[in-house]
Structure 1
């Protein structure tokens, strides 16, 4: 079995604007995101760390590194999902996030699971 077939992680994202925690008059726009991480490979893997690039509409980039997600380093067997929610605040009503999870297979091999860019935006602001 090839490395890519053994180590395959799929990442899906849902986002929401959190109006109650936002304050547009002070350039504070809060967004929640729920992420589903699914092991689509043939071997178990543990999420070790995360790397995010968060870009606001001004082009300013915040880079975030950290261990695990929401205080956990979940182990996913083939076919298993791990779902968590978190959030971020931007100074603009529109932005993007992208990044990767650093994973370790049950055999000790390290690999990255990419997180494709996704939009953070006030409802009805983008067409």
Structure 2
């Protein structure tokens, strides 16, 4: 199922394609996969869901952010093949990359986070 979000344009949409290039959608899938990875990495059903979420992120990144799409795809493959020892800093690199792209495309969100951080300190 495709994501329904505002995409790059900021205009609310009711229907999107899984191949719409959208850092918001990609970040949502990557963060969900990472959260599941930290929950129950050892169950086969969970691992399938994790790799599936990563592959959904690939769809949203493959044209505009090919390098990040390849990182997500490569991580999905390692998880599918139970090659956890080879993951290394793969999660950290992927999370950092998607945050960087999301933040660049959504400076308003960055500004709001900075305001929240100021309020808390």
TM-score normalized by the length of structure 2: 0.29
TM-score normalized by the length of structure 1: 0.28
- Which structure has more RCO (C-alpha within 8 Å, separation ≥ 6)? 1
Say which one has the larger Rg: 1
User: By percentage of residues, which structure has more helix?
Assistant: 2
User: By percentage of residues, which structure has more strand?
Assistant: 1
